[in-house]
């Protein structure tokens, strides 16, 4: 697990939103649409970016893959992936807390 944490944290925005999207299993296009929805269309992932990141995450044990009844490839977060996203969320909370604490000096 430590090796995965060092490899992914801090996470790229793409990886972060992909893992957030996998709160429930989804196929690639479902991930793209979900990321677009939860980011208010600020993030629009290209298929090459998504599938490249998914392949890397699968290789690292962060997600797993299966085919559903419609023969679509569906992605699901693993326990390692859950620990990874939890660690990144904690890091972001600390970052946000520090930003709020010191924002007055810059505004």
Residue 18 is part of a domain; what is its CATH number?
1.10.10.10
Q: Indicate the pTM of the whole model.
A: 0.90
Residue 14 is given by DSSP the state H
What residue numbers bound the domain in which 26 lies?
2-105
The pLDDT > 90 percentage for the chain reads 89
**How confident is the model over 66-102, as pLDDT tens digits?**
877 778 899 999 999 999 999 999 999 999 999 999 9
* pLDDT for res 66: 87
Total count of domains within the chain: 1
3-class secondary-structure state, position 73:
strand
């Amino acid at each position: 697990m430590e090796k995965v944490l060092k490899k992914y944290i801090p996470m790229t925005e793409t990886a972060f939103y992909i893992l957030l999207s996998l709160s429930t299993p989804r196929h690639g296009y479902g991930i793209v649409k979900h990321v677009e929805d939860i980011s208010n269309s600020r993030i629009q992932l290209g298929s090459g970016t998504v599938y490249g990141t998914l392949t890397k995450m699968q290789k690292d044990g962060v997600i797993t893959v299966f085919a559903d009844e419609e023969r679509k490839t569906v992605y699901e977060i693993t326990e390692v992936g859950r620990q990874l996203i939890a660690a990144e969320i904690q890091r972001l909370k600390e970052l946000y807390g520090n930003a709020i604490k010191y924002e007055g000096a810059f505004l």
